[in-house]
Amino acid sequence: MSKIKVTYIDHMGTDLTVVRSARISFAKSSEILTEKDEKLIKYLAEHSHFTPFEHCQLTCIIEAPMPIRMHIMRHRTGKFNELSRRYTSADIEFYIPPIDDMRIQSKNNKQASEGTLDSLVAKNIHAEFDIHYQQMF
């Protein structure tokens, strides 16, 4: 798996949902979306007022490497389900970083790297990944 794929399934709510949610504190509501409402949506987003956006729902299928999925789960505001290997026998795709993307861990910063691995070392690691994945399944 080398690419992230997102497939839209369904949604609930519109821009008007966001506006109505934002204005509930003032006991106000809109029936049609106006230019003033669009400015409110922009203001909410630019000033990190995200709770009105949480009244809308989006359902999609995300196919991504595990590190990306973990990042989505950590920073999410919604709900998620994952494909279960317990109930399926679908082929498993493993993510092996491209050789030229294999990097050296920074000695000073645990969230940074210090350049790429030597190409021969990276090729050997890449081959090891492949061998281990084949042995696992």
Q: What is the mean pLDDT of residues 100-109?
A: 91
Cβ atoms of 55 and 21 closer than 8 Å: yes
Q: Which residues constitute the domain of residue 113? A: 99-136
The DSSP symbol for 106 reads P
What is the β-pairing status of strands 103-105 and 113-116? antiparallel
pLDDT digit string, tens, across residues 14-54: 999 999 999 988 888 889 999 999 999 999 999 999 999 98
pLDDT score at 108: 92
Do 10 and 63 reside in the same domain of the chain?
yes
User: Are 19 and 52 within one domain?
Assistant: yes
Residues 59 and 115 in one domain: no
Based on the domain organization, do 16 and 61 belong to the same domain? yes
Residue that terminates a domain, selected from 58, 74, 90: 74
pLDDT at position 1: 58
Whether 64 and 103 share a structural domain: no
Average pLDDT over every residue of 105-133: 91
Nearest CA to 118 out of 98, 105, 102, 135 is that of: 102
Q: How many domains does the structure of the chain reveal?
A: 2
